[in-house]
Structure 1
Amino acid sequence: MPFKNKLKNQRGMTLIELLAAITILGVVFIGFVSIFPQMTKFNVQTEEKLGTMNLARLELVELKEGLKTLNPANKEDSSSSDEIITYKYNQSGYQYEVEYYKTPDLPKNEHAGSVELNKIHIKVKKDEKMISETFGYLKDSNLQ
């Protein structure tokens, strides 16, 4: 019967044990609650990054398909060096910076159906901070 005596002596949790348990639960709860605003901020940044990645890719597709051409007369700012032509313009609240890398004059490729391609680098910025970028290749016919 010694087991019965042990059960009679158990009276529950003391006030100290209860306060310690509440404190531990409070610390854990505060840790979880502080994560949610950071997750929300991260989600907003990720959503904006994905949106601007799609804008940069759309810009590249429009250039490739000839729906848009790189024309310095139509752009707010353009500059040129021997190998790189840079176009800067604003659209949809974002600043676009398009760098067009001209290929040096090489001997013409004699293979049937071959095309000379030039590298293009599109950067999408907001408040002068780069958010997204993409790379691609264009034919000379897309540059005017």
Structure 2
Amino acid sequence: MKTIRNERGITLIEVLAAMAILSIILISIMNFFPQMGMINNHNKEKAQAINTAKLLLNEWKLDSNLIAALKKEEPQPADWPGTIPTEDIDGDGDEFYLFTTENPRAEIKIWKEPPNNAVVEVPAHEIQIRILNDTGKPISETYGYIVVK
């Protein structure tokens, strides 16, 4: 029977090298966790904004005072429900009413006329709802039509 005489084990340098390699790997993996948390918060905020925009769109589409104001040729400030819009013209010459709300913080645009390329059987006004964050940057946006019969 042959005996092994040179059984040394692991040296201190090998242990330190292994720990250094493992530390580098663990530190690089740990950098992903704060990033994933930030992305999750962003996605949560966006999902809430999408739901809020859909709810606002439904509220505005069903508002009888708003529909009555849109039926008029020249609506007056007293005709509008709640906040009075500011009239605006965007870059392509389309005129719209611009409403703002604070809770939730949103911009609501309602175009005065149907889109130029639309075949209109029933008068409808395009509505755009943008949910804004605290700095005024849009989080979510949705579109729809308010049917005026």
Name structure 2 gaps, 5 residues minimum: 70-76
**Which residue identity lines up with residue 110 of structure 2 in the other structure?**
Y
* Structure 1 counterpart of 2:33, from 36, 59, 69: 36
Structure 2 CA distance for aligned equivalents of residues 62 and 125 of structure 1: 18
**Which residue identity lines up with residue 85 of structure 1 in the other structure?**
F
Q: Does the aligned pair in 1 maintain the 2:122–2:148 contact within 8 Å? A: no
Corresponding residue of 2:125: 118
Corresponding residue of 2:60: 63
- Aligned to 1:19, what secondary structure does the other structure show? helix
Q: Does the aligned pair in 2 maintain the 1:75–1:87 contact within 8 Å? A: no
The runs of at least 4 aligned residues of structure 1 exceeding 4 Å deviation read: 70-73
1:138 aligns to 2:146 (yes or no): yes
- Aligned to 2:66, what secondary structure does the other structure show? coil
Count matched residues.
Answer: 132
TM-score (normalizing by structure 1): 0.73
| Residues 23/76 of structure 1: CA separation in 2 closer, same or farther (3 Å cut) | farther
Name structure 1 gaps, 5 residues minimum: none
- Identity fraction in percent: 31
Corresponding residue of 1:98: 108
TM-score (normalizing by structure 2): 0.71
Shift of 1:65: 2.5
Structure 1 CA distance for aligned equivalents of residues 86 and 19 of structure 2: 64
Q: Does the aligned pair in 1 maintain the 2:104–2:131 contact within 8 Å? A: no
Q: Which moved more, 1:79-88 or 1:19-28?
A: 79-88
